[in-house]
Amino acid sequence: MTTAMAESAVGGSPPGAPARDTRRRTGRIRRIGLPYLLLLPALLLELLVHLVPMATGIVMSFKELTQFYIRDWGTAPWSGLDNYKVSVDFSAPVGQALLHSFLVTVGFTLLSVGLCWLIGTAAAVFMQDTFRGRGLLRALFLVPYALPVYAAVITWVFMFQHDNGLVNHVLHDQLGLTDKPSFWLLGDNSFVALLTVSVWKGWPFAFLIVMAGLQNIPKELYEAAALDGAGMWQQIRRITLPSLRPVNQVLILVLFLWTFNDFNTPYVLFGKTAPEAADLISVHIYQASFVTWNFGAGSAMSVLLLLFLLVVTGVYLVLTSRGRRTADV
Amino acid sequence: MRRIRAAAAGAVTISLLTAATACGGGSSSGGSNDSPKTLTYWASNQGASVEVDKKVLQPELDKFEKQTGIKVKVEVVPWSDLLNRILTATTSGQGPDVLNIGNTWSASLQATGALLPWDAENFDKIGGKDRFVDSALGSTGAQGKDPAAVPLYSMAYALYYNKKMFADAGISQPPATWDELIADGKKLSKDGKWGLGAEGSNPSENIHHAFVFAQQHGAGFFTADGKPDFTSEGAVAAVKQYVDLMAKDKIIAPGNAEYAQNQSVSDFAKGKSAMLLWQSASANLTSQGMSEDAYGIAPVPVQSGTPGTGTNVNSMVAGINLAVFKNTDNLDGATKFVKFMTSDAEQKILNKAYSSIPPVKNAQADPTFNTPANAVLKDTLAKSAAALPQVADESQFETSVGTAVKELFADAAAGRPVTTESVRAKLGKAQQQMPTK
């Protein structure tokens, strides 16, 4: 195979030599086939781990799946579009709650992604200059990203405790910013708590990606700009941000999807039922399925969520890539 | 940039796919005796920690192995995970042979059809139904059906009170009515200490108290034909009365609104609160360093009079049941194990270790369970405890109403008003989350 590939790569076979021609062809087939062969295990696993359960979930969403049928869910009666109708009937409690949860999630995701990006980018730009302790600081920045989610979030739970938590201790006891200790894991403040943890956990990823992106920008651009008299702010606006555009496009999309679907953070912070103000959609669907044992409706909500994310992602990709194409021209 | 775009496409696809992943699986039915030498057992977390439970159970399991040659692999499952683990095992058909269930879930789990029904023939294999106390049998499944499980440990709620704090406040005896409890609580709530502890963010605890208060108001949460009825006058008044202990009477610390990990037991053990409504707390209190003579145990208060049946019910029938998964590979062994665990001798050992009351009549007669403290629990179980509704939707009811109470506690803690209307609205919302059938 090595020889075949080497020869075809050189491409030096004269025309009209049938034996060599066949060899070259098999060589080409092998060369084209090899990547697919290498991808095959991953594809198979992808099929098993994601596509099969997803298809199962879609089937479940059309069934009346409650505790009476979970043992043998194949026997659950078909319910047609009932689960979907209930989920999107915004005049009834189930639909209302889903809509509320959806809106909370949208607001939360926009804020969280925005803050993660802002902090991550600021930190990355700041870390471009060499200074003493840069390596150490960079390593420290990545700690939230490296910690296991559960361990990190449970620590936040301790810090947010009403009576003995560090947050109230600092805000109330030491700084005197509040006139009485606040609840962070109950009521409206829970949104702030959730956002804090999410941003704390998410910005190092933005930092990492933007930092990688920055290293691809040729230094000459800055030197030339400096010669032309551009200041730091102008350099950031005219060179750094446009050069980071493709990186940011991907970064923001990935952050958006991760944040929108985040289950671990709210689940560890609040348990099975989140306060209304922080009722993220992933936990909401979990609650519909595993707490109220209505697996059919839970599946329908999952499918709706998938459709929504597909549409948003599609629109986003079309818009951003069109923007780049015109920019390239 | 192309590489980044490809990586992005991959990441995006995976992120999207995880959004719609659900679980599934088949199941097989009917137990067999394919592997007669081993059993797996999921024990609920009864002691102060999972490790304590292992220490209590292992010697007994070794004893069982010596007697029968069957090795039991035990896993102690924390409460917060147990129901989900059982559901997963039910769906996949890959579960333990024998397991503990909270007795309030009996009817819900019975409805899945995953548990072995305890008909007369099966009961005969473990010595007959008559060996068990009636109140305990009342929480083993829906009425008119063969029980889905066998009672293992029985418990009842009682009022635990700190003797020294009571003496310091000049209170000579524990309160018998809620008015007395509130009056005492007000005397005790000062200098950073509080009258009563509560577990505001724990739906199960909330539902137990809401249920007892509802009984005292002559209300249940279900109609006679098993339909949810959460917003009746009595139910609303009951939930309001419970939450008002924090909201209006101010004898529960606002911080208790976020308790869900038994912090209220720790607070009581440390003398931060003077009273605690809890089931079988003794072992837990001892392990937290509170000596047995530091606290007294009295029946949970009633509206007026003395505890009894009807509106003077003052506890739910609390307890743990032992169930067998229908598709076990060792049906005979599993039955033998249930027989062993519910034998008179084991009942004494285990219930003593967990400071619970044996649901087996013969074991209950043992002097250990006739100390003044245990006498209160035993008396309550015999005379004034009621089983939670044995309906298929019980577990959903527990979560939805328990969560409504949690939200009301959150309101109370934040200083927002808790009114009859707000209670009714929350309970109404909880009811609308129940399956409509």
Distance CA B243, CA A214 (A): 56
B45 to chain A, closest Cα gap in Å: 18
> Of A87-96, A246-255, B6-15, B374-383, which range is least confident?
B6-15
One domain, residues B222 and B308: yes
In a domain, B77, yes or no: yes
Q: Is the pLDDT of residue B27 over 60?
A: no
> Of A5-19, A153-167, B61-75, which range is least confident?
A5-19
- Beta-carbon separation of B435 and A294 below 8 A: yes
Distance CA B258, CA B202 (A): 8
Q: Is the pLDDT of residue A23 over 70?
A: no
A290 touches chain B (CB under 8 A): yes
- Beta-carbon separation of B433 and A58 below 8 A: no
Percent of residues, chain A, with pLDDT higher than 90: 52
Distances (CA, A) of A272 to A285, B80, B201: 11, 9, 11
Which residue does chain A place closest to B115, by CA atoms? A71
Percent of residues, chain B, with pLDDT higher than 70: 93
- Do the beta carbons of residue B240 and residue B127 sit within 8 Å? no
Q: Is the pLDDT of residue A209 over 50?
A: yes
One domain, residues B148 and B227: no
Q: Quick one: pLDDT at residue B12?
A: 54
A161 touches chain B (CB under 8 A): yes
One domain, residues B242 and B169: yes
Q: Quick one: pLDDT at residue A29?
A: 67
Q: Is the pLDDT of residue B108 over 70?
A: yes
Q: Quick one: pLDDT at residue A6?
A: 41
Asked which of B351, B368, B386 is the last residue of a domain, the reply is B386
One domain, residues B17 and B129: yes
- What mean pLDDT is predicted for residues A12-31? 60
A265 to chain B, closest Cα gap in Å: 15
Q: Each residue of B203-231: pLDDT tens digit?
A: 999 999 999 999 999 999 999 888 999 99
Q: Each residue of A256-301: pLDDT tens digit?
A: 999 999 999 999 999 888 898 999 999 999 988 888 888 899 999 9
- B62 against A187, higher pLDDT: B62
Which pLDDT band, with edges at 50, 70 and 90, does B93 fall under? Answer: confident
One domain, residues B96 and B184: no
Q: Is the pLDDT of residue B73 over 50?
A: yes
Q: Quick one: pLDDT at residue B7?
A: 54
- Beta-carbon separation of B258 and A187 below 8 A: no
Token pair in block for residue B65: 């192995």
Contacts of B400 in chain A (CB under 8 A): 292
One domain, residues B355 and B412: no
Q: Each residue of A302-313: pLDDT tens digit?
A: 999 999 999 999
Domain span at B148:
2-155+318-386
A55 touches chain B (CB under 8 A): no
- Beta-carbon separation of A73 and B400 below 8 A: no
**ipTM, 2 dp:** 0.80
- Do the beta carbons of residue B276 and residue B196 sit within 8 Å? yes
- SS3 (DSSP) at B194: strand
Sign for the CA dihedral angle at A37, A41, A45, A48 comes to positive
| Residue from the list B4, B109, B406 with its beta carbon closest to the beta carbon of A250 | B4
**Sequence-distant (≥ 6) Cβ neighbours of residue B324 within 8 angstroms:** B31, B97, B98, B99, B115, B116, B331, B334, B335, B338
**What is the domain-level CATH number for residue B348?**
3.40.190.10
A225 touches chain B (CB under 8 A): no
Distances (CA, A) of B21 to A46, A263, A306, A311, B271: 12, 13, 10, 18, 48
- Beta-carbon separation of B432 and A94 below 8 A: yes
Q: How many domains does chain B have?
A: 2
One domain, residues B268 and B205: yes
- What mean pLDDT is predicted for residues B419-436? 90
Contacts of A289 in chain B (CB under 8 A): 22
Q: Each residue of B344-392: pLDDT tens digit?
A: 999 999 999 988 999 999 999 899 888 888 889 999 999 999 999 999 8
One domain, residues B217 and B279: yes
Q: Is the pLDDT of residue A326 over 60?
A: no
Q: Is the pLDDT of residue B316 over 90?
A: yes
| Residue from the list B16, B409, B429 with its beta carbon closest to the beta carbon of A309 | B16
